[in-house]
Amino acid sequence: MSSNLTFTVAVHEAEEGGYWAEVLELPGCASQGETLDELKDNIIEAIGACLQAHLEDEGPHTPQKVTTWTLSIPEQDLVTA
């Protein structure tokens, strides 16, 4: 029986078009794609590659614990004079 691993993926719009993503629990693990579907496939592949590389270099990897927040802040509170 296998279990699922859960990762936090930050998705960004690329300036040149398309998207790029980074895996917060795996520093340095990132990928890109022209569409969100392509990005999803590519980041899953990147996660596997990052975990495999770590396994070969240092042994099993325990992803870093990450806490995420979603904040809603009035724009006027962020603008300084």
Structural domain includes residue 45: yes
Please count the structural domains in the chain.
1
Closest CA to 61 of 73, 46, 74, 50: 50
In a domain, 4, yes or no: no
Over its C-alpha atoms, the chain yields an Rg (Å, rounded) of: 16
Strands (DSSP E) found in 1-81: 9-13, 19-23, 30-33
Are the C-beta atoms of 9 and 43 separated by less than 8 Å?
A: yes
Bridge partners (DSSP) listed for residue 21: 11, 31
pLDDT on residue 43: 97
Query: Does any domain span residue 39?
Result: yes
Domain assignment present for residue 3? The answer is no
pLDDT digits (tens, 9 = 90+) for 14-72: 999 999 999 999 989 999 999 999 999 999 999 999 999 888 877 666 677 778 888 88
Cα dihedral: 51, 52, 53, 56 (round 10): 120
Residue 38: which CATH number? 3.30.160.250
Looking at residue 81, its pLDDT comes to: 55
**pTM score, two decimals?**
0.75
| 1 within domain boundaries | no
Does any domain span residue 2? no
Give the pLDDT confidence score for residue 79 in this predicted structure. Answer: 79
Q: Write out the residue range of the structural domain in which residue 64 sits.
A: 9-78
Give the pLDDT score at 30. Answer: 97
